[in-house]
Amino acid sequence: MIKIKCIENEMSITELGLMLGVKQQYISYIIYGERGTGKYTEQIADFLGIEAEQVENLGNIRKSKMKVS
């Protein structure tokens, strides 16, 4: 969802990181569910135009898709 919104806004992941004051790697970790959104939850929610609770669930959704039974 974060990557899609970046594309829609003609913004790179690096630019989003700069906007939030974090490295591009940290944004990638969030996208792939390796890190939580932490103190950036509200800012990411504003960027995506969704509720903060939905942002917190992004990583959980990604992790559940990665699990193989």
pLDDT tens track for 14-36: 998 998 899 999 988 888 888 88
DSSP state, 40? G
**Distances 48 to 43, 45, 67 between C-alpha atoms, Å:** 9, 5, 26
| Residue found under tokens 């969704």 | 50
What stretches of 1-69 show up as alpha helix (H) in DSSP?
Answer: 2-8, 13-20, 24-31, 41-48, 52-66
Tell me the CB-side half-sphere exposure of residue 42, using CA atoms within 13 A. Answer: 1
pLDDT of 65 above 80: no
**In terms of pLDDT, which residue wins out, 67 or 16?**
16
- pLDDT above 70 (res 66): no
